[in-house]
Amino acid sequence: MKAMPMPKKFAKRFLPQLSEIVAHFGTPFHIYDEVGIRSACLSLIGTFPFCPGFREFFAVKACPNPRIMEIILSTTQELLGFDCSSIPELQLARQIGARPEQIMFTSNNTSHEEFVEAMAYGGCILNLDDITLIDKVPGNFPDLICFRYNPGDRRTGNMIIGNPLEAKYGVKHEQILVAYEKARRKGATRFGLHTMLASNERNVHYHVATVKMLLKIAEALHRDLDIDLEFINMGGGLGIPYHPRDASVDLFTLGQKVTQEIIRFTEYAGYIPKLYMENGRYVTGPHGVLVTKCINQKHGYREYRGVDACMSALMRPAIYNAYHHITVHGSRGRRSAVVDVVGSLCENNDKFAIQRKLPVIREGDILLIHDAGAHGYAMGFNYNGRVRPQELLLREDGSVELIRRAETAEDLFRTLQFEPNILSV
């Protein structure tokens, strides 16, 4: 068992200066490790050395901060890009200099405005969620088009994405070939195939089965429609070890098995589709922690330790009942006690840990909530007048940079400033 889920290198760079960082910036904050994020990008790229043209499109929703996105893009320009699914995500990607071929637009229930934005500024790789959306692409139909495939009962998903049969995403099996044929009639000449079936999945065999499934569709496209895919996108969803007893995903085996499948396909179809992925969690998840201070100890029916962050900064425990490891800074040698670690939102699921054995926590103690770098800040909300915390970056040289200020009450009230507008019919 590892001491903690937070990568050792991150801890070594961060913990010695934690007290100064807290004194300077105050709590709570999310902090991300530039070194860890860069090395996660490089290890993904290094997983597929025999897949020419491999590209990782970072799922922007996992950590939509332009400084983090700049770090990702600059790690290896040619092999990285962004998976976007909303207009602001497209704007962020373009603002930091992503080129059209570095942006995959994977929306669902897409609006006209979203299509217009996706196709502007030189466009992007358009990934359509349904056959009916083909006719809704405005202007000239793009040369390159991709479809998101939903296999229905041919696969099982997992808790976060759900059973494919019940999931709202993707083109159903019976329509997938028809969709390509229709897109070709519209003028498309280059094609991609995408799926996204599971999130936080650490089992390599699940991901290999996903690639096999995509290659089966590629076979049918080659055989029945004479369409050769430019790429297959196996989605994101690589899991991370949230719990100290969890194993990391075995990237070496993943690379080997996926490459074998692609070689087998190439022998049959006579061409090599490029392999794409679009991980969010794997890239930033372990390389961010939420730092918060204990402000209250309550001896109720249970022992409660109240902290100055709440679920507005990290929703995963409340939404998915997810485990996030917690350590208490400077607590070595202390006795332990069973507590609930709670925020101050008026919802009883506003808890970072429930009946967890932790070193005795005193008021003023600094707590680290691990693996908050993906789907952490990004999922936060303002319910109950709660604001989201600041985001910091631990830079390569060890200095710490503010990369997003904390929200204030004024931010919450901004939408109450508007011109009077009354309709009397």
Ligand X SMILES: *Cc1c(COP(=O)(O)O)cnc(C)c1O
Distance CA 379, CA 390 (A): 14
Residue selected from 65, 75, 279, 292 as contacting ligand X according to rule CB under 6 A? 279
Least gap, CB of 239 to ligand X (angstroms): 8
Of the residues 257, 281, 287, 324, which one makes contact with ligand X according to CB under 6 A: 281
Rounded Cα–Cα distance for residues 3 and 207 (Å): 28
Task: Please state the closest distance from residue 101 (CB atom) to ligand X, in A.
Answer: 17
Task: Please name the residue that has the structure tokens 């083109």.
Answer: 171
Measured distance CA(102)–CA(94) in Å, rounded: 10
Residue numbers 193-222 binding ligand X by CB under 6 A: 196, 199-200
For ligand X, give the closer residue by CB, 278 or 371: 278
Query: Can you tell me which of 21, 44, 59, 133 binds ligand X, judged by CB under 6 A?
Result: 59
Least Å distance, CB 409 to ligand X, is 31
Residue among 142, 151, 280, 288 that touches ligand X (CB under 6 A): 280
DSSP H or E segment with residue 146: strand 144-150
With contacts defined by CB under 6 A, name the span among 26-34, 59-67, 301-309, 325-333 that binds ligand X: 59-67
Instruction: Mark residues 18-57: x for contact with ligand X by CB under 6 A, - for none.
Output: ----------------------------------------
Q: How far apart are CA 413 and CA 56, in angstroms?
A: 38
The yes or no reply on residue 107 touching ligand X (CB under 6 A) is no
237 binds ligand X (CB under 6 A): yes
- Cβ atoms of 80 and 58 within 8 Å: the answer is yes
User: Strand 400-404 vs strand 274-277: parallel, antiparallel, or unpaired?
Assistant: unpaired
Could you give the CA distance from residue 38 to residue 53 in angstroms, rounded to a whole number?
A: 19
| Binding flag, residue 83, ligand X (CB under 6 A) | yes
Please say whether the beta carbons of 117 and 87 come within 8 A. Answer: yes
Nearer to ligand X, 158 or 331 (CB): 158
Task: Give yes or no for residue 61 binding ligand X (CB under 6 A).
Answer: yes
Mark residue 122 as left, alpha or beta (left: phi above 0; alpha: psi -120 to 50; beta: remaining).
left
Q: What span, in angstroms and rounded, lies between the C-alpha atoms of 109 and 106?
A: 10
Q: Of 241 and 306, which has the nearer Cβ to ligand X? A: 241
Q: What is the Cα–Cα distance from 88 to 114, expressed in whole angstroms?
A: 10
Binding flags for ligand X, 282-321, as an x/- string (CB under 6 A): x---------------------------------------
Q: What is the Cα–Cα distance from 230 to 235, expressed in whole angstroms?
A: 16
Please tell me the count of residues contacting ligand X according to CB under 6 A.
17
The stretch among 39-47, 192-200, 337-345, 389-397 that binds ligand X (CB under 6 A) is 192-200
Q: Which two tokens stand for residue 21?
A: 């960082």
Tell whether omega for the bond before 389 is within 30 degrees of 0, i.e. cis. Answer: no
Q: Does residue 257 interact with ligand X by CB under 6 A?
A: no
One of 236, 241, 373, 380 touching ligand X (CB under 6 A):
236
Contact 237, 197 (CB under 8 A): yes
**Taking the complex as a whole, how short is the minimal distance between the CB of residue 81 and ligand X, in angstroms?**
12
If binding is defined by CB under 6 A, does position 235 make contact with ligand X?
A: yes
Parallel/antiparallel/unpaired status of strands 55-59 and 80-84: parallel
Q: Which residues bind ligand X (CB under 6 A)?
A: 59, 61-62, 83, 106, 196, 199-200, 235-237, 278-282, 374
